[in-house]
C-alpha cells in the first residue's frame, strides 16, 4: 500500500523530461501544432519513446501519473514555456502515458 504513494521516480522523470523538452524543443514550435508536428517529428518520437519506456518499467497508478504531470508541467514553466506551449506538451505526454502497455 505504501508503494502506491511512492511517486519519487515519477516526479524525477517528470522533471528530467521537462528539462529535455525545454532544451530540445523551441516553444514556438510547441505553440503552433502544424509546425510542431512536422518540423520536430524526431523530437516527438524521442519524447514518446522515453515516456513509453518509463511507463513500462514503473507501475504507474493514477497518483503517480498526477505527480509526474505536475512535475513535468512545473519544469516547463520554470524553463520559460508559456501556458499554451506547456499545455500542448502536457497533453501529448499524458496521451502517451495513458496508452495501454
pLDDT tens profile 32-88: 666 555 555 778 888 989 999 999 998 899 999 999 999 999 999 999 999 988 998
pLDDT at 12: 97
Non-local (6+) Cβ contacts of 63 within 8 A are 4, 5, 7
Q: Is the pTM of this model over 0.75?
A: yes
Comparing C-alpha atoms, which of 89, 81, 70, 90 is closest to residue 11?
70
Residue 62's SS3 state is helix
Q: Residue for cell digits 510542431?
A: 36
Domain boundaries, the chain: 2-97
Amino acid at each position: 500500500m505504501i508503494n502506491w504513494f511512492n511517486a519519487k521516480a515519477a516526479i524525477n522523470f517528470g522533471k528530467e523530461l521537462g528539462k529535455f523538452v525545454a532544451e530540445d524543443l523551441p516553444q514556438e514550435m510547441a505553440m503552433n501544432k502544424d509546425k510542431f508536428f512536422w518540423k520536430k517529428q524526431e523530437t516527438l518520437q524521442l519524447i514518446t519513446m522515453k515516456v513509453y519506456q518509463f511507463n513500462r518499467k514503473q507501475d504507474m497508478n493514477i497518483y503517480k501519473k498526477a505527480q509526474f504531470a505536475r512535475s513535468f508541467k512545473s519544469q516547463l514553466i520554470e524553463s520559460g514555456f508559456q501556458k499554451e506551449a506547456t499545455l500542448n506538451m502536457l497533453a501529448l505526454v499524458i496521451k502517451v502515458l495513458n496508452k495501454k502497455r
